[in-house]
Structure 1
Amino acid sequence: MVFQISEGVKVSVETYYQPDYSNPVASEFMFAYRITIENNNTFAVKLLQRHWNIFDSNGSYKEIDGDGVVGVQPVILPGDQYQYVSGCNLKTEMGKMQGSYTMENIHTKKEFDVRIPMFEMIAPFKVN
């Protein structure tokens, strides 16, 4: 697990290779990741948008932007956390992701960015 704290928000990431949804012969490698967002501020925050940078080990790169996460824009109260699971399909056995969330202070309506730490996705058979 990796984590990063920025703007009073801790983002932790765990990754899992998904062999049942992967097809190595067709260069399709599916990974799931679980993200936990902890609000250590004294104010509630709302997650408005996400931005991802996705790198494949073959040199390909893509950026993804969107509203919220997994179809919601959660409000996280002070001292609380929000957790979700999503996935990424790569063309190689290894890759990495990093990004940011645009969040809003519920009381002041001020927006700020929270960093998502870089994390690796590696198929277990590649490690051996």
Structure 2
Amino acid sequence: MTKTLSDSISIKVEVSYLERQSLPDQDHYLFAYNITITNHGDEPAKLMTRHWQITNGDGEVNTVDGPGVVGKQPDIASGEQFAYTSSAVIETAVGTMHGHYTFCSQSGTVFDVPIPAFRLASPNTLH
């Protein structure tokens, strides 16, 4: 099996519910997510754009597209990591997020790295 450029980037996600900033009685649930991106490849890669699909518990989808992450388009050297924290608001106690990052390798190849779905859930919520 041939290793692709997208296989050379790994993404780790950790989610936390921000109870103090959430207003459940107003259908406002705030979640922080910490992302760690690791470049396992042989060449640097620049994170160019992000694409997210945020789905609440009612199945309503909000799409977010834009350049970079948290105002940056980081160059991630071979063997290095880039970490950041951001947040998402949904109208239900449970939801999901998934998407992809678009990278450009040092040699000019543009490639997408999928971000598998992860759960947004306030504590003690079943869905």
The CA deviation at 1:81 is 0.4
Please tell me whether residue 7 in structure 1 is matched to residue 28 in structure 2: no
Overall identity of the aligned pairs, in % = 38
Q: Aligned Cα RMSD in Å?
A: 1.2
Deviations 1:48-98 (A, max 9, x none): 000001110012011110000000000000000000000000100000000
| 8 A contact 1:28–1:91 mirrored in 2 | yes
Which residue matches 1:39? 39
Task: Give structure 1 regions of 4+ aligned residues with deviation exceeding 2 angstroms.
Answer: none
| 8 A contact 1:11–1:117 mirrored in 2 | no
Which residue matches 1:114? 113
Gaps of 5+ in 1: 1-5
The CA deviation at 1:7 is 2.6
Which residue matches 1:3? none
Give the paired residue count: 122
Q: Distance in 2 between matches of 1:102 and 1:96?
A: 20
Q: Distance in 2 between matches of 1:66 and 1:45?
A: 18
The normalised TM-score by structure 2 is 0.93
| 8 A contact 1:7–1:113 mirrored in 2 | no
| 8 A contact 1:13–1:33 mirrored in 2 | yes
Which one-letter code corresponds to 1:94 in the other structure? V
Q: Distance in 2 between matches of 1:80 and 1:59?
A: 36
**What does 1:1-128 correspond to in 2, within 5 Å?**
6-106=6-106, 108-127=107-126
Deviations 1:22-72 (A, max 9, x none): 000000000000000000000000000000011100120111100000000
Gaps of 5+ in 2: 1-5
